Structure 1
């Protein structure tokens, strides 16, 4: 990662905080936002999705108790009925006014200095559109689980280094490593990313558009505590060997057809953006789409899959657009 210039002016930051029955953890999260003394956000946009608890009141009370209810503006949306995760985040980011937008889950805790470190990178690098980081995995009581988010995702060193070299889209065509709770992005990214398609998770979509139209980078350090508990809507942990075997033998269902639709939507958005998208990015997405269509079209009987899968593998498609041997094993053995 290119060192940030400490002399660059610090950009303004909005926090897009989305909640759903999260009152139990919200005070700790809001206190950690208020503790970003070197880069206090200008506002929190709170989008609550039909909660049945007092989460909105907890946010207001915590801001007041910190003496920051006048320095950090608070905008509140209370959705009835619920919008769902993706639409809820879309509503929040649309209302953000800062130059940078920090995505925020209700149950995590930011480390001191997190925003200042990330904002400094954006200030020094005008081409940077989205920046994410590692996180420390903790339980419901914030006790460390002994691994980081990247360890739980089994992120490889070469993948992290490729993102840092400016090759994020190539990595994302293998799999997503961008987790919204660790992400800050320029508000300008919304000009190409909105509206969010229902078929994509918001953080994956933002990362893909940022990587296709600008620069994505990663800080290989844990800047937040990322809670793992029974109520997580989206979590992360390393799968056991038994879980991997069960996944490899599970029924294929329509998941590959749904992935084809997702990639078609990305390709259509990039086409609509015209010259804002480099030819290399278009080619990566087109190649990924060909690969997904191949996987979606494999025959049901396992024996009939062997030859086409092995031929596809020798042509390098699994290495270029997927997780290599793991995807090959899935295609050979899934039910």
Structure 2
């Protein structure tokens, strides 16, 4: 059997750490070691770890953030498979057995992953309230890589990775204050197949405490703005490091290159990087300009407005005006604008149903503007067959 190292980076979570580590020592398949890397905690973490039993190796360093702690712990890990677990979440008993079994049966896979449930302890009653995952895509459509580029849905507690793959992609980025797990899982998926089990493997704790490293803490109430900014910063280097050929490699068909441009536009629109997205929409509109968009391509455009960060930036005057220009650029531009308008429709309905009338009105103006711009000529050549690859091409280091 392959050996497994668990890495638990921790910072001031003594009140949660015991439950987290006990869930690791209770696994149906024992792990060879549990490395607890204390990132300079100022609470009772050292004593808490000393009181626990199991194959625990405790390390302590100066506070430098999660990425630095993980890189240091990785140098100490001895296992062939690496399981990184947060210090406040709870692994379900059969998690590592299920994940390791996948990698042992599938030697071509570099990552095995699963789903999760969220939970919160009610402060008033002490009751534990569980909900489903925050976001989980339809994995019957498209590749795991495409879904990961659009949004994060795999988390470290439900992700087992070959040590050799970590060595191949390089260390965690220590320049990132947050989203280091998202950056890493994208880099892993770019290099090797990811096999996903659609079953819960851990419980993700939701609480109102501070988040992030000591130098950049933020409260849960500030989370949306902080993560939006982090998401843009995270994906900015991917604009250069992920070639268009990889986006095109997500698709199979004569117009895979155009679909790749639209897919890259979708990815960056969901990051609210509309400058990058519009450049790709414009380029796609001029590629085979008389050949109609396939349903696959139209769906890509609709997803551009379905990201977790919303579409408020898209409805602003300058961005809306540039998208209108795309709609007026020709037959394919007309179809792109129509698909974007259709993608915005459900957001407008949701805002109206929730009583957010100013937002609903703003989205309605956006839809109207794009709809008016998309009254131009239609493509004269039917769309050729296009499909998504279940297992896309991967990068070569």
The equivalent residue for 1:13 is 4
1:53 paired to 2:43 = yes
The equivalent residue for 1:148 is 132
Report if the CA contact (8 A) 2:183-2:234 is conserved. Answer: no
SS in 1 for 2:200: strand
Q: Report 1:180-329 matches (<5 A).
A: 180-197=156-173, 198-199=175-176, 201-231=179-209, 233=211, 258-259=233-234, 261-264=236-239, 266-267=241-242, 280=249, 288=264, 292=268, 295-296=274-275, 302-310=316-324, 311=326, 325=344
The equivalent residue for 1:239 is none
Q: Answer with 53-62 or 139-148: which moved more.
A: 139-148
CA drift at 1:170: 1.1
Structure 2 counterpart of 1:94, from 52, 75, 84 = 75
Structure 1 counterpart of 2:14, from 20, 23, 32 = 23
Q: Could you give the per-residue CA deviations for residues 18-66 of structure 1, whole angstroms, max 9, x where no partner exists?
A: 1001111111111111111x31111111111110122133223211xxx
- Cα distance between partner residues in 1 of 2:90 and 2:205: 8
CA drift at 1:302: 2.6
SS in 2 for 1:39: coil
Q: Could you give the per-residue CA deviations for residues 73-103 of structure 1, whole angstroms, max 9, x where no partner exists?
A: x3333122x1112222222233222111111
The equivalent residue for 2:102 is 121
1:79 paired to 2:61 = yes
SS in 2 for 1:128: coil
CA drift at 1:288: 2.4
- Cα distance between partner residues in 1 of 2:85 and 2:95: 13
Report if the CA contact (8 A) 2:49-2:58 is conserved. Answer: no
Return the structure number with greater relative CO, CA threshold 8 A, min gap 6.
Answer: 1
- Cα distance between partner residues in 2 of 1:216 and 1:146: 27
Report if the CA contact (8 A) 2:70-2:172 is conserved. Answer: no
CA drift at 1:232: 5.9
The equivalent residue for 1:41 is 31
User: Could you tell me the TM-score, scaled by structure 1's length?
Assistant: 0.69
- Cα distance between partner residues in 2 of 1:128 and 1:41: 20
Q: Which runs of 5+ in 1 are unaligned?
A: 1-9, 235-242, 272-276
Report if the CA contact (8 A) 1:136-1:147 is conserved. Answer: yes
Q: Which runs of 5+ in 2 are unaligned?
A: 213-220, 252-256, 279-312, 328-332, 349-358, 364-397
Structure-2 change in CA distance of 1:174 and 1:257 (3 Å): closer
SS in 2 for 1:11: coil
CA drift at 1:136: 1.9
Rg comparison, structure with higher value: 2
CA drift at 1:301: 9.1
Report if the CA contact (8 A) 2:102-2:195 is conserved. Answer: no
Report if the CA contact (8 A) 1:16-1:103 is conserved. Answer: yes
Q: Could you give the per-residue CA deviations for residues 83-129 of structure 1, whole angstroms, max 9, x where no partner exists?
A: 11222222223322211111111111111121111111111001121
CA drift at 1:263: 1.5
SS in 1 for 2:249: helix
- Cα distance between partner residues in 1 of 2:247 and 2:319: 35
How much is the aligned-residue C-alpha RMSD, in angstroms? 4.0
Q: Could you give the per-residue CA deviations for residues 275-313 of structure 1, whole angstroms, max 9, x where no partner exists?
A: xx8982698599627963961367999333224335378
- Cα distance between partner residues in 2 of 1:13 and 1:115: 9
SS in 1 for 2:6: strand
Report if the CA contact (8 A) 2:23-2:90 is conserved. Answer: yes
